[in-house]
Amino acid sequence: MPANSSVDAIQTGGVQSRWSPVRGLVLAALLLLIIGTAGFLSIEYLKRNTQLVVSDTLAGLCDAGAANANMVEGHNRTLLLLLSQTSAERERFHRDIENYNEQVAASITAYSQSIFTPEDQANYNHLLDCRKKYLDVRKQVIALADREDAAGAQRLFKASLMPAYLEYKATGEKVFKYNADEGKSRGELIMQICTSTQFLIAGAGIVLFLTGFFMGLFK
């Protein structure tokens, strides 16, 4: 073999041997970059979804649940007012009705701060419409009861107030269910992201280990 050819072969081998560790380092750095980027992006996405669960879903569930509970209590006090026999009882139920009404109003107002989607806004607007209709009819029923027109109050209660209440209650439950469904879907998404990130980082770590192992084996 000519001397020049031997020298060239040695030089080429030396260059390749020098570049092999460099390629390994580049590959390792690339894998580490992928692992770091995947971890950062997944954590950032999880933070946004967790923030939505806290500021939107949980807050909405709390306010909607409180509004529904106080709505039922207020309606029950209205029925008790119609059945009361003395002015003292009626006065007590008047105070109870007003108290529950204020609590419902406070919960509904607070709920408006956790609305972020058109569907949620539409449900909320429908709730306000049903609430206004119900309160208007209830005011008439209570006025009849205060005038001691028990028969007229009971007729209006059955004919108008009960249907308005059932619609009002169904709308409140729809608002609550919307937030419950949102919470479930967001929780499932968070779990999917956690699982995917777990497998991605574990897989990249295995590849990184095997790459280093085989490079050291065949060096």
- Higher-pLDDT residue of 208 and 113 is 113
| pLDDT tens-digit map of 91-104 | 999 999 999 999 99
CA-to-CA distance for 36 and 46, rounded, in angstroms? 15
Q: Is 115 left (phi over 0), alpha (psi -120 to 50) or beta?
A: beta
Task: Report DSSP state, residue 1.
Answer: -
CA-to-CA distance for 185 and 57, rounded, in angstroms? 11
The reported pTM is 0.67
| pLDDT the model gives residue 30 | 72
| pLDDT the model gives residue 17 | 47
Contacting residues for 53 by C-beta, under 8 A, at least 6 apart: 183, 186, 187, 190
| pLDDT tens-digit map of 43-65 | 666 667 666 665 567 777 888 88
Secondary structure class of 185 (helix, strand, coil): helix
| pLDDT tens-digit map of 158-204 | 999 999 999 999 999 999 888 887 777 776 666 776 776 667 666 76
CA-to-CA distance for 28 and 8, rounded, in angstroms? 30
Domains of the chain: 58-180 (1.20.120)
Q: Which residue has the tokens 């058109």?
A: 118
Average pLDDT score, the chain: 79
- What does the block give as tokens for 63? 């306010």
| pLDDT the model gives residue 139 | 95
